[in-house]
Structure 1
Amino acid sequence: MRLLDRYLLRELTGPLVACLTGFLLVWITADLLERIADFQGRQLAWTRVLVYYGWRVPEFLGLVLPMALLLALLYALHRLARHHEITAMRAAGLGLWRIALPYLGVGLGCSGLMWTLNEHWGPESTRRAEAVLRPVEPGDDKRVRIANFGFMNRRDHRAWHADAFDPLAGELTGPQVEYLTPEGRRRWLFASRAVYTNGVWWFQEAREFESNPQGERYLVPVQAVPSMSRPDFTETPEQLYSAHVVRGRLERRASRKLDLPVRTLRDYARLNPDLSPEERAWLETQLQGRFSLAATCTVVVLIALPFGVMPGRRNVFYGVAGSIFVAFTYFVLQQVGLALGTGGHLSPWLAAWAPNLAFAGLGIAMIQRFR
């Protein structure tokens, strides 16, 4: 790495750390004010609240990283332009693309970090944060439960229902599973409890019934055992919970959030191959949106560069203001595209990627003007 590259990166590092810290503090404070009544109702100690927000940092970081990078880059470029350092670099024979090379590398690195945060660290840290809210006392049964839980695996022709589902413990209360045998016979499995252990579902006080081959309306008992393992039931607690979340979003046609990992969306698509066109449009738009979301940091760098290198104090001011306005428009159009895609009014790929392509192209065209 050349000395110039190290200098440019050093000029960016300080503002980027400061912006990330500031945005994280603001985000955590806003969330704390919203949830403080819930924390008080749970009688959480302040140490557990700190642990809770410690686990949620990766999730918040994925949300604030693009805006923090934009403001930090504008500040760094403003300082360089104010002291005529960019003018000196260009006078020395360096083109703007060469000057921007380390910042483009930072944008690509932040895009990779966003993908890792959103797809791996974020979902896991969110689950651990929710586990912090669970009661410590072993006798306390006020755990996180989903009442009247239902799940349909259309691919394997299995329908699950339970009085309650604890996704963190992988436990079903009062489960009922309707499924087909390899011979094509329909069966019903009833149990008092089911627990997912070592990759296998175990049913307690299990009773199985089968449809009457004579076509009569009552069920025929098959077996009743104290405990039963069903390795052929391949659904995992994570898939059950993910399907519950995706189904809730589908019913509301929620388009603004892009917080469902790609694996969750693909699992739901595999388990439900017969989705309606409207449901398929929503799912594909969410899936493409997850991929395009990771590219946001790179697009933000391309937006900030041409505005930040404007020479002169007056131009620097208008450049910073113009960059923030363009970035704000970019974020708004992202939401508009998602709404159009999930509503079936626009191709999912185009709805997710059009803002990225348009504003990246705008940034590249503006940089070319300074050559």
Structure 2
Amino acid sequence: MKLIDWYILKRYLATFFVMLLMFIPIGIVIDVSEKINRILEYKVPFVQVAIYYGDFTIYFANMLFPIFLFLSVIWFTSKLANNTEIIAILSSGISYMRFLRPYIVGATLISILALLMGFFFVPKASKGFNDFRYTYLKRGADAETRQNVDVYKQISDNEYIYVSSFNYTSKVGVNFSLEEFKDNQMVSKISASVIKWNEKDSTYTLTNYNKRIVGKMEDKLESAPEKKFRFNFKPDDLTPTVYAAETMTLGELNKFIDKEKERGSGNINAYLVVKYKKYSIPISAFILTVIAVAVSSMKRRGGMGVNLALGIALAFTFIFFDKVFGTLAEKSSMSPFIAVWIPNFTFGILAIYLLRNARR
């Protein structure tokens, strides 16, 4: 690489990390101001608070990664343009695409970092971040993080469970049923108006218990006011954690998704969105870098302020697209893969258009 490449690359990486170091403390200060009363009220140990803000730093940086990258590129490229450095570079015979090369190298390095963070470090930080919130700051609100209504799951090759509602705090569910099939034919069904988990002996107590065994000539019926059972599923299967996918590494997430598909989980789209975003966010580094360079490499009236205003608008539009289509995939029949990649595809077209104009 030439001297000019090293010059731009160092500015690219340095500005990005300085931007992180500037905004993360602001995020921590705002978060502390919101939570300090509850931290003091619940007498949360200092060590736990320190660990939480370590996880918060990674979680916060990953969440706003596109904005930090976009603004940092616009910031230092606008300074190059205002100092007429870009005009001097292009006047020396270097083409615009050649001028763009160190930016692409920088985006590659940031993308690899984002990919590794998303695969291994962000999931652990997300788990620590959410566990702290629901252990110390939202006591008694754990049910908010769980799907506890109309849960239907496959727990083995031929067994299915259903519960209309389950309270994770009291470990009590309503309208429970367990169905067993063989060769696509139901062979037995257990039902109960109430199911309660007994933590001491890892059993369930069924109230208004009924069992029906399907026979060739006639069915066998069994009932009891109350009966204990030991099933091969846990309360977590009756109340899957909504943010579970965010706390898993890539390998764990792939196994989890395969298992949930076999069980017929209703949250499968939400898990797939998390998986696909691990790949789409690093790719967005290239798209946002090209857009930022194309927008800020021209010297404008109004200086850097105009470029920053335009950059902030585009960055938040990208975040808006990402959140809207992610929610659509989770709540509708829209393909998670398509939903996750629509923002990159849309802004990729915009990047090509702006790049062509900038080259002129």
State the TM-score, normalized to the length of structure 2: 0.70
- Residue matched to 2:222: 218
CA distance in 2, matches of 1:55, 1:205: 36
- Residue matched to 1:245: 242
With over 3 angstroms needed to count, the CA separation of the structure-2 counterparts of 1:211 and 1:40, relative to structure 1, is: farther
- Residue matched to 1:76: 76
- Residue matched to 2:3: 3
The C-alpha deviation readout for 1:272-326, integer Å capped at 9, x for no partner, is 27x6xxx888777776666544433322212211122113664654333333333
Give the secondary-structure state (helix, strand or coil) at the position aligned to 1:368: helix
Give the secondary-structure state (helix, strand or coil) at the position aligned to 1:245: coil
How far 1:132 moved relative to its partner?
Answer: 5.4
Unaligned runs of 5+ in 2: none
How far 1:87 moved relative to its partner?
Answer: 1.5
* Residue pairs, 1:240-279, within 5 angstroms: 243-245=240-242, 263=254, 268-272=260-264
Give the secondary-structure state (helix, strand or coil) at the position aligned to 1:180: strand
How far 1:8 moved relative to its partner?
Answer: 0.9
Decide whether the 8 Å contact of 1:59 with 1:118 is kept in 2: no
Give the secondary-structure state (helix, strand or coil) at the position aligned to 1:218: strand
How many residues align? The count is 333
Decide whether the 8 Å contact of 1:51 with 1:132 is kept in 2: no
Percent of pairs with identical residues: 17
1:324 aligns with 2:312: yes
Decide whether the 8 Å contact of 1:246 with 1:265 is kept in 2: no
CA distance in 1, matches of 2:24, 2:314: 23
Task: Name the structure, 1 or 2, with higher relative contact order (CA <8 Å, separation 6+).
Answer: 2
With over 3 angstroms needed to count, the CA separation of the structure-2 counterparts of 1:340 and 1:192, relative to structure 1, is: closer
Give the secondary-structure state (helix, strand or coil) at the position aligned to 1:330: helix
With over 3 angstroms needed to count, the CA separation of the structure-2 counterparts of 1:128 and 1:287, relative to structure 1, is: closer
CA distance in 2, matches of 1:345, 1:158: 23
With over 3 angstroms needed to count, the CA separation of the structure-2 counterparts of 1:186 and 1:328, relative to structure 1, is: closer
Give the secondary-structure state (helix, strand or coil) at the position aligned to 2:202: strand
Decide whether the 8 Å contact of 1:153 with 1:159 is kept in 2: yes
- Residue matched to 2:161: 159
With over 3 angstroms needed to count, the CA separation of the structure-2 counterparts of 1:173 and 1:10, relative to structure 1, is: same
Unaligned runs of 5+ in 1: 137-141, 167-171, 196-201, 248-257
With over 3 angstroms needed to count, the CA separation of the structure-2 counterparts of 1:107 and 1:366, relative to structure 1, is: same
With over 3 angstroms needed to count, the CA separation of the structure-2 counterparts of 1:145 and 1:86, relative to structure 1, is: closer
Residue of structure 2 aligned with 1:307, choices 295, 298, 301 = 295
CA distance in 2, matches of 1:369, 1:363: 10
The C-alpha deviation readout for 1:28-80, integer Å capped at 9, x for no partner, is 22222333333223211333211211123221111122111112111211222
Decide whether the 8 Å contact of 1:24 with 1:60 is kept in 2: yes
* Residue pairs, 1:1-371, within 5 angstroms: 1-130=1-130, 146=143, 151-154=151-154, 156=156, 157-159=159-161, 165=168, 178=178, 180=180, 184-186=187-189, 193=198, 203=202, 211=212, 215=219, 217-219=221-223, 230=232, 243-245=240-242, 263=254, 268-272=260-264, 291-311=279-299, 314=302, 316-338=304-326, 344=332, 351-371=339-359
CA distance in 1, matches of 2:238, 2:220: 33
Letter in 2 for 1:303: I
Letter in 2 for 1:245: V
CA distance in 1, matches of 2:114, 2:213: 55
With over 3 angstroms needed to count, the CA separation of the structure-2 counterparts of 1:298 and 1:270, relative to structure 1, is: farther
CA distance in 2, matches of 1:236, 1:92: 69
CA distance in 1, matches of 2:246, 2:90: 42
How far 1:129 moved relative to its partner?
Answer: 4.0
Give the secondary-structure state (helix, strand or coil) at the position aligned to 1:355: helix
